[in-house]
Amino acid sequence: MELRLYDTLSKEKRPFVPLDPVNVRMYVCGPTVYDFAHIGNARPVIVFDVLFRLLRHVYGDKHVTYVRNITDVDDKINARAARDFPALPLNDAIRKVTEETERQFHADVDALGCLRPTVEPRATEHIAEMRAIIEKLIAGGHAYVEQDHVLFSVASDPRYGTLARRSLDEMMAGARIDVAPYKRDGMDFVLWKPSKPGEPSWPSPGGIKVEGRPGWHVECSAMSWKHLGEQFDIHGGGIDLVFPHHENELAQTCCAFHRDRMANVWMHNGFLQVEGEKMSKSLGNFVTIRELREGWAGYAWPGDALRFAMLGTHYRQPIDWTAKALDEAHKTLWRWYGDIEGVQAASNVADDVLAPLADDLNTSGMIAALHALHKAGRLAEMRAALAFLGFSCDLPSLQRKPVTAELRTSEASDQVQMQGTAAPSKQQIEQFISERTAARAAKNWKESDRIRDELAAMGVILKDGKDAEGKPVTTWEVAR
């Protein structure tokens, strides 16, 4: 099966050829751990999880290395730590914030059916590699020291701007801010900066006497180098990272190691909006994964439904996150899970499902293929395909719990609290149904309907049908 992927750098879709088929290497920019991840953050996590699964399928589980970093050194983390734990020394407070947020992040993405990456490196554990890269850049004339900062010189890299497709002139023309006094060129960016008292700090590179901390971009160059090498296969992330983050990573890595390329394929997922608007805290439409799982648009949504809703749109397209689409996704999965309950999964994943995925992760086409399998009654293959794609196939856990009010996520809440009506036991339901069947046989429609309504009030839906011999049979299911 030929895998084709769209590359942001060359702007074309082309066959994927790994540098080393025995070790296919992918790096995806992970979270900065200072707060709950929002649904926009969930998109790359889900998209690249699907790619990870596909690569494992093609090259073998042991032949794919997926690295997704955790950024645990950042101004926002510092600010959050100072705000939430004012009594603690800053470094202790920072550790509390990053550890707690990392735990929340893992709980959320686990619920979304995402496999853990092969390696989840932390920025603070790769300071030595960052310093090494910075020293190489200084030695190579690509970086300079000024006022205890180390800056990358964009003028030293003729390729700078090729990923984002913009020239330095354009960027200078569009720059709207004052250039910091320690910069030789307005577009130069910080590799290392001095720490303020109390802030996390490490010995500085470049002969700088005072301690400092890394700039934003260099961590990914360091961690991808350490775990994947100077050059690797796939680098992914949100499209908002193309500039400046990925452009700068590319420049750092290529200049430090004298390489033409950093990653062979650059992949970027499209942006996410909520109900047609940009997601922002000021608009009040900021949606975290945790809120979706606890209570959003009237329900606590199972992770499978969130995952399915996300895959309904091709990863490069913009996606509008709406309650309607989520409801539709849930409904589809609900029906499928009901139909494949108790079905033994096929041993292979159907080519019908793999083929669209292999075409630059065409998940919409993949879902259409699943619909076709469903329609054709190929349920064993359906189950195998869904499991392959990271879906639990577990009907009970797919139930969405109604919530009466929109719950706000608090920092303290790490437990997903759900409220639901107490479901009657199977024996009770069967008892009701046999009573109703008797009432129907006696044409006592009033009693029959009363029982049906009563069960409906308890969240049990009755489905009347006939068996092979034409006798009336009533089955039931829990309301979704």
Partner RNA sequence: GGCCACGUGGCGGAGUGGUUACGCAGCGGUCUGCAAAACCGUUUACUCCGGUUCAAUUCCGGACGUGGCCUCCA
Number of DSSP helices (H) and strands (E) in the chain, helices first: 16, 17
Question: How many of the chain's residues bind RNA (CB under 7 A)?
Answer: 75
Determine, following the binding rule CB under 7 A, whether residue 270 of this chain makes contact with RNA.
yes
Using rule CB under 7 A, residue 264 touches RNA: no
Looking at residues 218 to 247 of the shown chain, list those that interact with RNA (rule: CB under 7 A).
Answer: 239-245
Task: Dig out the tokens for 391 from the structure.
Answer: 């879906």
Please give the backbone phi and psi of residue 367, each rounded to the nearest 5 degrees, phi first.
Answer: -70, -40
Instruction: Kindly indicate which of the ranges 110-118, 162-170, 341-349, 409-417 contains the residues binding RNA, using the contact rule CB under 7 A.
Output: 162-170
| Listed ranges 58-66, 90-98, 286-294, 361-369: which one lies at the site for RNA (CB under 7 A) | 361-369
- The residues, ordered by sequence, that sit 6+ positions from 469 with a Cβ below 8 Å of its Cβ are none
Nearer to RNA, 2 or 449 (CB): 449
* Stretch near RNA under the rule CB under 7 A, chosen from 124-132, 199-207, 257-265, 442-450: 442-450
Apex 277 CA angle, 274 and 282, nearest 5: 95
Out of 170, 414, 430, 454, which residue is the one contacting RNA (CB under 7 A)? Answer: 170
Query: In terms of CB distance, is 419 or 445 closer to RNA?
Result: 445
- By rule CB under 7 A, what string of x and - marks binding of each residue 35-54 to RNA? --------------------
Radius of gyration of the chain measured on its C-alpha atoms = 27
Q: Are 262 and 7 in contact (CB under 8 A)?
A: no
Name the nearest CA neighbour of 255 among 183, 179, 155, 333.
155
| Residue 364 phi, psi dihedral angles, 5° rounding | -65, -45
In sequence order, the 6+-apart residues with CB closer than 8 A to the CB of 409 are 36, 288, 290, 291, 294
- Kindly state the smallest distance separating residue 318's Cβ from RNA, in Å: 6
424 touches RNA by CB under 7 A: no
**What span, in angstroms and rounded, lies between the C-alpha atoms of 118 and 455?**
47
Dihedral angle over CA of 234, 239, 242, 246, nearest 10? -40
281 binds RNA (CB under 7 A): no
Q: Does 368 bind RNA (CB under 7 A)?
A: yes
Per CB under 7 A, does 463 bind RNA? Answer: yes
Q: Is residue 258 within the footprint of RNA (CB under 7 A)?
A: no
Binding flag, residue 251, RNA (CB under 7 A): no
**Part in contact with RNA (CB under 7 A); list of ranges 106-114, 268-276, 281-289, 396-404:** 268-276
Sign of CA dihedral 19, 20, 21, 24: negative
**Residue list 90-119, contact with RNA (CB under 7 A):** none
Residue of 47, 114, 251, 319 that binds RNA (CB under 7 A)? 319
Q: Which stretch binds RNA (CB under 7 A): 45-53, 87-95, 204-212, 317-325?
A: 317-325
- Residue with smaller CB distance to RNA, 24 or 242: 242
CB proximity list for 325: less than 8 A, separation 6 or greater: 309, 312
Query: Of 169 and 258, which CB lies nearer to RNA in the complex structure?
Result: 169
- Exposure of 429 by Cβ count < 10 A (0-12 exposed, 13-18 middle, 19+ buried)? middle
Contact present, 227 and 67 (Cβ < 8 Å): yes
Does 459 bind RNA (CB under 7 A)? Our answer is no
Q: Which lies closer to RNA via its Cβ, residue 8 or residue 409?
A: 8
Between CA 95 and CA 75 the distance in angstroms is: 14
Q: Does 164 bind RNA (CB under 7 A)?
A: yes
Residue 461 touching RNA (CB under 7 A): yes
Whole-angstrom Cα distance, residue 437 to residue 116? Answer: 50
Q: How far apart are CA 330 and CA 307, in angstroms?
A: 10
From 146, 199, 230, 328, residue interacting with RNA (rule: CB under 7 A): 328
- Least separation, in Å, of the C-beta of 149 and RNA? 7
**Least distance to RNA, CB of residue 62, Å:** 30
Site string for RNA, 179-198 (x = CB under 7 A): -x-x----x-xx--x-----
Chosen residue from 273, 346, 407, 473 binding RNA by CB under 7 A:
273
Determine if 362 is a binding residue for RNA (CB under 7 A).
Answer: yes
> In the set 331, 397, 420, 442, which binds RNA (CB under 7 A)?
331
Query: Measuring CA to CA, which residue among 410, 432, 415, 411 is closest to residue 423?
Result: 432
**Rounded least distance, CB 243 to RNA, Å:** 4
